[in-house]
Structure 1
Amino acid sequence: MSSSQFDHKLGGPSLAFQPLYQQVAEYIKQLVVERRWQPGEMLPSEFRLADEFKVSQGTVRKALNLLTDTKIVTRRQGVGTFVSEHTAQDALFRFFPLQADGKGAELPKAELLHIEQVSPHKSVQSALTITSKEKVTKIERRRILDNEFCMLETIYLPAKYFSGIHERKDIPHTLYHFYQTDFNQTVFKTRDSIKAVLATEDDAKLLQIEAGTALLLVTRVTESIDGKLIEYRESKCRSDHYHYQVELD
């Protein structure tokens, strides 16, 4: 990254009332959003960043610590600071909390059932704050753990952020890495809501269980690093010998 790419100024109207280290953190975050550094790429040294921003190394260090806490960057002791990327391992421990009873975390496989571009129904409009005139891509999948169907997923993606995804035949098991590498949409945080429901006849057929079996319905809204709502999903999870595990840090 050349010095000419540091073309924003600290202390602009939107940052002026923040502490200096927060201004630096917001600026670095914006550079990540703009793809000045790619996912997995190492940032310049603290000394270089301090020189470019005309601040102390201590200020840069506090900014990088803040960005590390929010998982925008990753710091490797003795190596440097890197833009975070959503690898399969990262997705396993941060974004897929369903586990089989008595077993550790395991990354499931995903079987694509259907994908198409549709008009959003009201719950999708509300979740993604979009209008009925906007299009979304609807993805239906079922997840497999230990050779057993464990979850049904219905995923809605705004077409304006995922152009042409409904025509793709190479939808991978791990979507968040796919969003980041192919559509420049980096997942920053998710908000899950969980309630108990009963399996419908269609659910039962797809999950190979009895109709009326208790399931966990997990609805998720996903936000990108730059504050956009980029995904709404509804997941129906088996609860007979699976549990939903969440770790807070």
Structure 2
Amino acid sequence: MTTSQFDHKLSGPSLAFQPLYQQVAEYIKQLIVERRWQPGEMLPSEFRLADEFKVSQGTVRKALTLLTDTKIVTRRQGVGTFVSEHTAQDALFRFFPLQADGGGAELPKAELLSVEVESPNTAVQKALQIKAKEKVTKLTRRRILNNEFCMVETIYLPNTFFPDIAKRKDIPHTLYHFYQTDYNQTVLKTQDSIKAKLASEEEAALLNIKCSEPLLAVTRVTESLEGKPIEYRESMCRSDHYHYQVELD
């Protein structure tokens, strides 16, 4: 090719001290953030990317392997490399770890209880790295497994990243796919903190359990592909016949 559609950004100062394959990986990641390729779309071949970036195919292959390991792209044997997409199935195995005892992974339903726009409290400010004057949208909902309420969630979303989400009438059960398709916010990773607590009267009423029954209190900070916190949630999970399952690889 005589001209490159990718502007030769590999020589930028922010990448100069990284190994070449990491430079390529970072640049491909940035192109994905900029929506050069849409979620689920196939990337150009290794040969074409190598030609565009003026590097070897081996360097491109190492870069794509790094992006595959971090789940930014997905490689399909004999087909190609695709931008990862947060489908309902993906969300089930990566982002919803609560399971019924003796049962396998199951995608829960959600009942949206309320949507409010408010100023963030101190915990929300810290988690989302925002100031007190900024507004967040708070979603409160219950999760349903096996036809019973298993979790109460309070989700905080910065209005900067999710403008007018409070006006939406079509907020789905699977939020991470919704963030990606409607707000161009792709979830890269989450960080969960878990503590034991006793159910308050309000929590007990929402979950149809007795007051002071044990719960798992899970706080989660969700980070976007750009490395920014885009969601903070507090989940109160039943523990009578549910468990929190995490897989490490």
TM-score of the pair, normalised by structure 2: 0.98
- Which letter maps to 1:21? Y
Q: Deviations over 1:77-105 (max 9, x none)?
A: 00000000100010000000000000000
Deviation at 1:4, TM superposition (A): 5.2
The answer to whether the Cα contact below 8 Å between 2:5 and 2:52 also exists between their aligned partners in 1 is no
Alignment-derived partner of residue 43 in structure 2 = 43
The answer to whether the Cα contact below 8 Å between 1:8 and 1:27 also exists between their aligned partners in 2 is no
Alignment-derived partner of residue 160 in structure 1 = 160
Deviation at 1:124, TM superposition (A): 0.4
Deviation at 1:129, TM superposition (A): 1.0
Alignment-derived partner of residue 169 in structure 1 = 169
Deviation at 1:11, TM superposition (A): 2.0
TM-score of the pair, normalised by structure 1: 0.98
> Aligned equivalents of 1:122 and 1:52: distance in 2?
47
Deviation at 1:8, TM superposition (A): 4.2
Deviation at 1:7, TM superposition (A): 2.0
2:9 counterpart SS class: coil
The answer to whether the Cα contact below 8 Å between 1:153 and 1:235 also exists between their aligned partners in 2 is yes
> Aligned equivalents of 2:226 and 2:17: distance in 1?
20
Aligned length: 247
Alignment-derived partner of residue 117 in structure 2 = 117
1:89 counterpart SS class: helix
> Aligned equivalents of 1:145 and 1:92: distance in 2?
12
Alignment-derived partner of residue 81 in structure 1 = 81
Q: Deviations over 1:34-93 (max 9, x none)?
A: 000000000000000000000000000000000000000000000000000100010000
Structure 2: 5+ residue runs without aligned partners? Answer: none
Alignment-derived partner of residue 228 in structure 2 = 228
> Aligned equivalents of 2:98 and 2:5: distance in 1?
42
- Which letter maps to 1:237? C
Alignment-derived partner of residue 190 in structure 1 = 190
Q: Deviations over 1:133-161 (max 9, x none)?
A: 00000000000001000000000000000
Q: Percent identity?
A: 81
Alignment-derived partner of residue 242 in structure 2 = 242
Alignment-derived partner of residue 146 in structure 1 = 146
Alignment-derived partner of residue 205 in structure 1 = 205
Q: Deviations over 1:210-239 (max 9, x none)?
A: 011100000000100001110000000000
1:10 counterpart SS class: helix
The answer to whether the Cα contact below 8 Å between 2:92 and 2:105 also exists between their aligned partners in 1 is yes
Alignment-derived partner of residue 20 in structure 2 = 20
Deviation at 1:121, TM superposition (A): 0.6
- Which letter maps to 1:203? E
- Which letter maps to 2:34? E
Task: Let me know the Cα RMSD of the aligned residues.
Answer: 0.8
